[in-house]
Structure 1
């Protein structure tokens, strides 16, 4: 391995080492399937202990950037990135930011509005029977009056995941994955007690009907109506919170 690394300071050594190796992977200095030096070699290069190197490698493995293989030809190798791995990392980051309050409900609604309009238009011309069947199945679930709030929210997420999948655009699917899997559940739980489930299921049905009919304009209009309802529910939730804590 001809890659050189900068010296590191004493604070968070493992994190800094992991970041340097990560950057070498992302900018192509370390190639896919290339073997990394041994723990001992890396410890010498970075002038740190082997446990520190081991911790750095654990960080990289957790990001699925490297893999270990045992045996005579074993060692630690650079992984080939995948969309699924990158999407999972993005979702985890978004989930953390939501938990820290970095995104407001308005921010989430605006993002959903912009992205889901595009998804709906594409889905209207690219959907398959499987996509339509998944969306219809979730609407049937949502019409169950005995459904818990948590189960309804989970069904809502699955419905919109099916819509995104129906757009069949990998970039939108990648971005919307984090919006749906991280941001949507958080906002769903906030507004659950203000939600009219019958109205929600009816709006989902209108969206499904437009997608089924292959009508992009109607599909976009259905998303716009759905988001307008969500924004009104967000406002009610915010007012209720302020009245309790104001």
Structure 2
């Protein structure tokens, strides 16, 4: 057997040398993911990094931009505040999705109706999984939100926030952090109640739906939870059409801004 054949069978192959930007980005990414740079830590200045890596400031700037786009770094307030490490858990994923989706909505590449429909596709399985995996802590949070909803009036500006928190907490209870990240992001972006005319009847029925969801999740009845969520979403859609008119979805972008 020739040496060339042995080498081929072992699968040896040439590994391309990384560009300077990739070397900088790889090492900074590793430091963040391995905890050497913790959430909230300030990254050294471009000058300091350029000297440390022996590259140009332009190279450092490219690497930092890439890490920022990946959600690992964020610019602080002010023009001279520098870059800071962001969280790298599912909450970071939710923030990134919300930011990117908000920009896409503003550009008109997708419609608010598409975002709303996609959110609905996630909500039913979210409720079903929550009934299977809920904890006492998540039940307590859901109960607390319902108490806040019941103790306020339908015209309270905090009502949309209560609703978003309730749905996001159901997703958290599902035990699937990716699902939870997307549900939270879609609620913060779409804000389903922000473009609906809310009256006293709507508030009463919606809270009743939340109570039914809470009970089904508490009782670990996944099918009942899924049905309760489906009924809730159907009611929201019917209420939008009946109370706000067909132009309501198109007003969502204005409501977000």
For the criterion TM > 0.5, the same-fold answer is yes
Deviation (angstroms), 1:58: 5.1
Residue 179 (str. 1) matches residue 190 (str. 2): no
Matches within 5 A, 1:1-246: 2-4=17-19, 21=22, 32-33=30-31, 38-39=49-50, 41-43=54-56, 50=57, 52-53=58-59, 55-56=61-62, 59-60=65-66, 62-63=68-69, 64-65=71-72, 81-146=88-153, 148-183=155-190, 185=191, 187-193=192-198, 196-236=202-242, 237-239=244-246
Deviation (angstroms), 1:97: 2.6
Distance 2:101 2:163 in 1: 19
| 8 A Cα contact 2:72 2:86, kept in partner | yes
| 8 A Cα contact 1:32 1:80, kept in partner | no
Unmatched runs of 5 consecutive residues or more in structure 1: 6-19, 44-49, 68-75
Unmatched runs of 5 consecutive residues or more in structure 2: 1-15, 33-45, 75-82, 250-257
Distance 1:80 1:3 in 2: 27
TM-score, normalization: structure 2? 0.66
Distance 1:101 1:199 in 2: 33
**What is the root-mean-square deviation of aligned Cα atoms in Å?**
3.8
Deviation (angstroms), 1:108: 3.2
Deviation (angstroms), 1:105: 4.3
Deviation (angstroms), 1:29: 9.4
| 8 A Cα contact 1:106 1:231, kept in partner | no
TM-score, normalization: structure 1? 0.68
Number of aligned positions between the proteins? 208
Q: Match of 1:188, SS?
A: coil
